[in-house]
Amino acid sequence: MFLARKRTYFLLHVVVPDLKAYEIFHTTVLLPLPGVRDIRSTFAIQVIKEPSPLPLGHIV
């Protein structure tokens, strides 16, 4: 979550099989959320380096 210019921003990493699946996720899950007024999407063309897993072993 980011706080900038008195607005709250969320950065989501969403993995879907194709653009149609993203469109469905976008319109049926994200847009209906309360307080959501604007969604900006950026798409990765290619994975350069796979992200490492988060170190969550300390969470029970």
The pLDDT value given to residue 5: 63
β-sheet bridge partners, residue 7: 4
Full-model pTM: 0.60
Mode of pairing for the β-strands spanning 2-4 and 7-9: antiparallel
Helix (H) or strand (E) holding 2: strand 2-4
pLDDT score for 60: 65
Low-confidence stretches of the chain (pLDDT beneath 70): 1-8, 60
